[in-house]
């Protein structure tokens, strides 16, 4: 199914259509200015109907240029791409006392989702909810977040134990991100050496306010991590406050494809930060000397 440039459309698939689309495998929705919902499943939930088998063959979903998209609501997905959407709050949720609503909500259960791309969603403040159905995102292998300037983190702590199959993580051009995973004191509730057992590649690029990858003092093993790029992350002081084991990682790629390694991951990131601070200090002194000569 492909829907494009239908500017008066509000809902792509209504609840009464879902049962007739059992064999639907691909959905693409592009540049529809008024679309707010892709799959309307809340009505089925209210009526007490089990939506688990609905659209059970759906494996690929592409959402592109949907300025009013509020949420996608379907549990059986394998590939999801979002590009150039702007997520808008409903009028009743504009009160500052009401919690921020994430892109996904507590109804979703993306149990077969493998690829997730979220690109240029300028108003997005949160991707994942603090409560998730069982096995949500448990098959996720590839996560890309790019150009989402109101995000302060990529994921809350409750998502981390579900990412045992995550292989590649790319975060680029998100000006407000301060941490990648925000750990919130749930030690002993799923955090283990295998939480990110399959993670092979991490690329962090153009994150002007990023300070840390893991936000708290927990120890982590990343046994599969082989490639780590830190490109223009000027405020990143360390990778984690706790110990990080990365037996397959022996270099970190920085600006201009330069390779750095100082014995372990935290020491390397700390060295990079100190080096940047020293270079910044040298530039300031050079500029001061130049101004003195001009005078």
Residue 290: pLDDT band by 50, 70, 90 thresholds?
Answer: low
- The span from the CA of 231 to the CA of 228, in Å, is 10
Residue 128: per-residue pLDDT: 85
DSSP-derived letter for residue 284 is H
What sign has the CA pseudo-torsion 209, 176, 145, 184? positive
Q: Token digits for 205?
A: 């690029």
- Given a contact cutoff of 8 angstroms between Cβ atoms, the answer to whether 249 and 265 are in contact is yes
Residue, of 78 and 46, whose pLDDT is higher: 78
pLDDT, one tens digit per residue, over 53-75 is: 455 566 676 777 777 764 444 43
Residue 180: per-residue pLDDT: 95
Q: Any idea where the domains of the chain sit in the sequence?
A: 2-90+101-294
Buried b (16+ CB within 10 A) or exposed e, 233-251: beebebbbbeebebeebee
Residue 237: pLDDT band by 50, 70, 90 thresholds?
Answer: very high
Mean per-residue pLDDT, 230-237: 94
Average pLDDT, the chain: 77
**Nearest-CA neighbor of 181 among 196, 201, 198, 193?**
196
Q: Is the pLDDT of residue 185 over 80?
A: no
Mean per-residue pLDDT, 162-181: 95
Q: Is the pLDDT of residue 50 over 70?
A: no
Residue 107: pLDDT band by 50, 70, 90 thresholds?
Answer: low
Mean per-residue pLDDT, 217-230: 91
Q: Is the pLDDT of residue 132 over 70?
A: yes
């Amino acid at each position: 199914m492909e829907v494009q440039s239908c500017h008066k459309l509000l809902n792509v698939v209504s609840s009464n259509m879902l049962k007739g689309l059992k064999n639907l495998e691909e959905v693409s929705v592009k540049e529809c200015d008024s679309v707010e919902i892709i799959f309307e499943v809340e009505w089925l939930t209210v009526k007490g109907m089990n939506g688990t088998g609905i659209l059970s063959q759906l494996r690929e979903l592409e959402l592109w240029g949907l300025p009013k998209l509020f949420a996608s609501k379907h549990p059986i997905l394998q590939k999801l791409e979002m590009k150039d959407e702007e997520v808008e709050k409903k009028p009743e949720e504009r009160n500052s006392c009401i919690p921020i609503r994430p892109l996904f909500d507590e109804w979703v259960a993306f149990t077969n989702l493998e690829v997730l791309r979220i690109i240029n969603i300028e108003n997005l403040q949160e991707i994942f909810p603090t409560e998730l159905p069982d096995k949500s995102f448990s098959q996720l292998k590839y996560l890309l977040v790019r150009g989402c300037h109101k995000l302060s983190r990529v994921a809350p702590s409750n998502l981390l134990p579900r990412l045992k199959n995550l292989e590649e993580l790319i975060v680029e051009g998100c000006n407000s991100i301060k941490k990648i995973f925000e750990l919130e004191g749930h030690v002993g509730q799923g955090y283990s050496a295998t939480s990110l057992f399959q993670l092979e590649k991490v690329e962090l690029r153009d994150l002007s306010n990023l300070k840390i990858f893991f936000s708290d003092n927990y120890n982590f093993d990343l046994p599969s991590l082989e490639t780590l790029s830190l490109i223009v992350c000027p405020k990143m002081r360390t990778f984690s406050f706790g110990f990080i084991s990365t037996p397959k990682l022996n270099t970190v790629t920085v600006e201009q494809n330069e390779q750095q390694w100082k014995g372990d991951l935290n020491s390397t990131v700390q060295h990079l930060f100190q080096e940047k601070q020293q270079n910044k200090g040298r530039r300031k002194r050079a500029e001061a000397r130049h101004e003195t000569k001009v005078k």
